């Protein structure tokens, strides 16, 4: 695939972005969603196939434990991580489920401290986390990621102390959690909510080995914030983990979409490890929708049914002449397909194309004009939705073309 021929000007990265997909942890916490252990295992297998290198799971309920066992038994290339609170019992539960990687989540902002532990000092809370991290990393030999909940509203002086303390206790990675989506992607935004500033400050002022970004979409900026963190890590960190969910599912407005982050990394930054794998993005989206009960919006970027749909005269004429006029890349690249539909705004080009597609014959100009007029009369009578294939065939039959 030649990106320049598609109009892309690759911006290379001097860092390795690692997708840490949390669809089966944060994603399925979305109200109204549920997934069976067998379907969870299939989702994990599919994520592994597209190049996800770390998969985060819940492991507390009976069904979660069954899913965890099924996933561990598959021997995937991706590492499998359990999610824990800063409680030793959670670590023990993760160990009993076979996890070797765990994330220990704890708030780092005063907003959370005052709401959840009004009777405890910051020092007491910090010591509590350190004790659990030491237990997991040093006593039990686990790889530990620490999740700084509400990082983008935390006091930097405390957070810096927190990161250094958990690093000393054995944590390998610190996750910047933009818990309510207030992080800013601008290079000029200061701490605490300037995400590029935080990525650089953690490298410059702490001892932690690795950094991660976990962005929520309350302002619609989760993908932007995730990519801003990755770009800020370039030339600063040898690698950066990006915590995402497929389709952006998750609590409230959800998270950064795995598929969007992967496609941005491939197309804009030329990250080669995703080449040849993105053809499964649309099938995965469809499977997750069926498995969880989530309805994939038809206009969802990359994986929606209408992501490559065209109906208006200008757009369909352009796409029929050269697909690059209104498509950034071939839909087949992501396992999707082009859909040319007939509707209120359809012109002669798309009508002629659809007649040829259905009948196998080239219509005369007069025949095309007649069909266009028949379509327009339908919409003049109040029709709103696009015509279904059967409806358009019926019009052709009535006109004697089929």
For residue 223, what is the domain's CATH number? 3.20.20.70
Identify the domain containing residue 57 by its residue range. 16-292
Please report, rounded to a whole number, the percentage of residues in the chain having pLDDT higher than 70: 100
Instruction: Over range 39-46, report the average pLDDT.
Output: 98
Q: Is 290 exposed, middle or buried (0-12, 13-18, 19+ CB in 10 A)?
A: exposed
Closest CA to 95 of 76, 86, 82: 82
Classify each residue of 100-127 as buried b or exposed e, where b means 16 or more C-beta atoms within 10 Å of its C-beta: ebbbbbbbbbeebbeeeeeeeeeeebbe
Query: Is 304 part of any domain?
Result: no
Same domain, 267 and 380: no
State the pLDDT confidence band at 4, using cuts at 50, 70 and 90: confident
**Pair 2, 29: CB distance under 8 Å:** no
Instruction: Over range 353-369, report the average pLDDT.
Output: 95
* pTM reported for the whole predicted model: 0.95
State the pLDDT confidence band at 313, using cuts at 50, 70 and 90: confident
Same domain, 30 and 127: yes
**pLDDT computed for residue 331 by the predictor:** 98
Range with lowest mean pLDDT among 2-6, 257-261, 369-373 = 2-6
The half-sphere exposure of 228 on its side-chain side, counting CA atoms within 13 A, is: 24
Query: Is 297 part of any domain?
Result: no
**pLDDT computed for residue 146 by the predictor:** 98
Q: Is the pLDDT of residue 1 over 80?
A: no
Please report, rounded to a whole number, the percentage of residues in the chain having pLDDT higher than 90: 95
Query: Is 204 part of any domain?
Result: yes
**pLDDT computed for residue 3 by the predictor:** 81
Query: Is 320 part of any domain?
Result: yes
Strands (E), 259-321: 309-310
Same domain, 266 and 321: no
Instruction: Over range 84-107, report the average pLDDT.
Output: 98
Same domain, 137 and 242: yes
Number of separate domains in the chain: 2
Query: Is 298 part of any domain?
Result: no
Query: Is 319 part of any domain?
Result: yes
**Pair 18, 54: CB distance under 8 Å:** yes
**pLDDT computed for residue 5 by the predictor:** 81
Which residue in the block uniquely carries the two structure tokens 């025949």?
Answer: 367
Give the CA radius of gyration of the chain.
25
State the pLDDT confidence band at 141, using cuts at 50, 70 and 90: very high
Instruction: Over range 356-371, report the average pLDDT.
Output: 95
Strands (E), 72-142: 79-85, 101-107
Instruction: Over range 273-297, report the average pLDDT.
Output: 97
For the chain, give the mean pLDDT. 96
Q: How many residues does the chain have?
A: 402
Query: Is 329 part of any domain?
Result: yes
Query: Which is it for strands 309-310 and 16-21: parallel, antiparallel or unpaired?
Result: unpaired
Query: Is 302 part of any domain?
Result: no
Same domain, 33 and 163: yes
Same domain, 287 and 354: no
Domain boundary among 292, 325, 344: 292
**Pair 306, 340: CB distance under 8 Å:** no
State the pLDDT confidence band at 7, using cuts at 50, 70 and 90: confident
**pLDDT computed for residue 184 by the predictor:** 98
Classify each residue of 356-390 as buried b or exposed e, where b means 16 or more C-beta atoms within 10 Å of its C-beta: eeeeeeebeeebbebbbeebeeeeeeeeeebbeee
Instruction: Over range 43-61, report the average pLDDT.
Output: 97
Q: Is the pLDDT of residue 312 over 90?
A: no
């Amino acid at each position: 695939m030649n990106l320049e021929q598609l109009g892309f000007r690759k911006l290379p990265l001097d860092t390795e972005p690692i997708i840490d997909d949390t669809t089966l942890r944060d994603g399925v916490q979305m109200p109204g969603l549920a997934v069976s252990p067998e379907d969870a295992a299939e989702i994990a297998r599919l994520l592994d196939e597209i190049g996800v290198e770390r998969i985060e799971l819940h492991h507390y309920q009976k069904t979660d434990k069954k899913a965890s066992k099924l996933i561990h038994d598959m021997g995937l290339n991706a590492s499998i991580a359990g999610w824990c609170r800063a409680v030793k019992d959670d670590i023990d539960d993760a160990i009993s489920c076979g996890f070797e990687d765990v994330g220990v989540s704890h708030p780092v902002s005063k907003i959370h401290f005052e709401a959840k532990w009004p009777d405890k000092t910051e020092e007491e809370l910090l010591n509590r986390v350190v004790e659990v991290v030491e237990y997991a990393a040093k006593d039990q030999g686990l790889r530990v990621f620490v999740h700084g909940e509400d990082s983008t509203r935390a006091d930097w002086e405390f957070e810096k102390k927190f990161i250094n303390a958990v690093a000393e206790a054995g944590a390998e990675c610190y996750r910047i959690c933009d818990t309510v989506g207030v992080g800013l992607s601008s290079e000029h935004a200061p701490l605490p909510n300037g995400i590029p500033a935080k990525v650089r400050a953690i490298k410059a002022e702490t001892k932690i080995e690795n950094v991660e970004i976990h962005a929520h979409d309350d302002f619609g900026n989760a993908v932007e914030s995730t990519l801003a963190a990755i770009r800020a890590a370039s030339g600063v960190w040898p690698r950066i983990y990006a915590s995402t969910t497929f389709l952006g599912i998750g609590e409230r407005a959800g998270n950064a979409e795995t598929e969007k982050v992967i496609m941005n990394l491939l197309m804009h930054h030329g990250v080669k490890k995703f080449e040849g794998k993105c053809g499964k993005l649309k099938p995965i989206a469809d499977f997750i929708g069926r498995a969880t009960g989530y309805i994939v919006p038809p206009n969802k970027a990359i994986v929606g049914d209408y992501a490559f749909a065209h109906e208006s005269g200008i757009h369909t004429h352009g796409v029929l002449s050269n697909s690059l006029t209104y498509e950034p890349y071939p839909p087949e690249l992501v396992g999707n397909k082009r859909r040319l539909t007939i509707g209120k705004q359809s012109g002669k080009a798309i009508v002629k194309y659809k007649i040829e597609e259905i009948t196998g014959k080239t219509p005369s100009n007069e025949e095309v004009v007649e069909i266009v007029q028949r379509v327009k009369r339908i919409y003049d009578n109040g029709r709103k939705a696009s015509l279904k294939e059967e409806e358009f065939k019926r019009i052709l039959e009535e006109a004697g073309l089929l």
